[in-house]
Amino acid sequence: MDGGEPRNRNPSSHSVSTSFSQSSRSNATHQSKVSTFAQIERGGRVSSSSTSNSNINPQYYADSDSDSNFVPLLGTCPYMCPERERIQREKLRDLAVFERLNGNPRKSSPTLAVKKFCRTISSKCASDVRPLPVLEDTLKYLLSFLESTDNPFEVVHDFVFDRTRSIRQDLTMQNIVNKKAIYMYEGMVKFHVVSHHKLRHSLSDPNIASMHHLNMEQLTKTLTSLFSLYEANRNSNYVHENEAEFHSLNVLLHLGSYSKPMAEPLSLWFSRLSPLVLKSKEMRFARRMLRSFRLGNYKDFFCTAATQASYLQYCIMEPYINEVRALALSCINFGGYKLHPYPLFDLSKQLMIKESDLETFCKSCGLETCTDESGNKLLPTKQETFSHPKGGFQTYSFLGFQEYESPF
């Protein structure tokens, strides 16, 4: 983090009242971007003139109540959860399992309780809002739960999901848009990306399927807010150290045929990006993956993914890997010679999958395999029974992809 950034910024006590004639052009532009970002996060509508000047795409958010007379606060709450809220939730037994002192559903402590998200803010007291240093510590505390194996991931996700929305709300109420806010939003995007990856392995459970859907909604919202923060802190040719990778995630979210996470054409989004971001290796990778997916070039898709994908990029791409494998099976089955069965060992290397898993995958697609005299598994071609599994694909191995350390 940039230690030179201010911990908080209260526009009411700074140069907001100063006329634009007394400020430099760059400061005026920055203030316009900051104001636009704050309005976006509050759920307000932004005029076309303001967005054209700041290059920030307006979206509707519900992380805090919309208020046309919004005045940023300077939070003073020293704890992860305001004392008044903690006491009230203790009385109501409204404590998450992670907030209970010695497992007691009626008792918590300042080191365990974390402020809950509330769509409608009934109180706008500074004592109920956490300042930036407390928010940073709170986010670090929340993300540490993702390493825990004491509880099912969906239980951890449900807790962190709600409490990170509250963090975003407190940031918005104080109009904190500096570089420290960028790092915090990056951490929250990482949480949603990892959750997107882990929750989809249990989509047969309706409750987890609902979690997965809501997580995707917040992933796109948080990602869009992060992009706006990058713009609010833009300085000529400067690109934030992680900016290219996070922009690449938006491209990979468009891999699906019907995927439009940002509700706008990707080509229009590209036109607003910094040339330095567009030319980055992360964006070149993402665009290559998108092109290979849409052209059905499965060899390039798997080879590039196995050698270049980061952990976060893989988490976004993983749901589409089996789609590409099924496409490859279809091409080989209908395009191969009937008298020349395809060796599963060779095919497994192309599709980056274990041979045993590939045999199961073929059967799920309605294709039979056979064994030659030497015991080698083969895929006979020209089978007319090929089909995509109605219940979706199960999880299979992805060889060649290295295990990465935790992104947190």
Residue 31 pLDDT level (bands cut at 50, 70, 90): low
Is the pLDDT at 6 greater than 90, yes or no?
Answer: no
Domain ranges of the chain: 72-233
Q: Which of 39-53, 59-73, 100-114, 329-343 has the highest mean pLDDT?
A: 100-114
Tell me 23's DSSP state: S
Mean pLDDT of 29-58: 45
**Rounded Cα–Cα distance for residues 61 and 76 (Å):** 25
Is 12:72 a contact under the CB 8 Å cutoff?
Answer: yes
Is the pLDDT at 92 greater than 90, yes or no?
Answer: yes
**Rounded Cα–Cα distance for residues 352 and 303 (Å):** 8
Mean pLDDT of 333-343: 88
pLDDT top residue among 137 and 35: 137
Contacts made by residues 341-347, CB under 8 angstroms, sequence distance 24+: 341/370, 341/372, 341/378, 341/379, 341/380, 341/381, 342/378, 342/379, 342/381, 343/376, 343/377, 343/378, 343/379, 344/369, 344/376, 344/377, 344/378, 344/379, 345/376, 345/377, 347/379
Q: Give me the pLDDT at residue 60, please.
A: 33
Mean pLDDT of 230-256: 91
Q: Give me the pLDDT at residue 42, please.
A: 52
Q: Give me the pLDDT at residue 122, please.
A: 63
Is the pLDDT at 236 greater than 80, yes or no?
Answer: no
User: Which residues are within 8 A (CB) of 4 and not within 5 positions of it... i.e. 6 or more apart?
Assistant: none
Is the pLDDT at 51 greater than 70, yes or no?
Answer: no
Mean pLDDT of 387-396: 84
pLDDT tens digits, 250-304: 999 999 755 666 667 888 899 989 999 999 999 999 999 999 999 999 999 999 9
Q: Give me the pLDDT at residue 263, please.
A: 66
Average pLDDT across the chain, whole number: 83
Q: Give me the pLDDT at residue 259, please.
A: 61
DSSP strand pairing (370-371 vs 342-343): unpaired
Contacts made by residues 281-284, CB under 8 angstroms, sequence distance 24+: 281/244, 281/308, 282/244, 282/245, 282/247, 282/248, 282/310, 282/313, 283/244, 283/247, 283/248, 283/251
How many residues are recorded in the chain?
Answer: 408
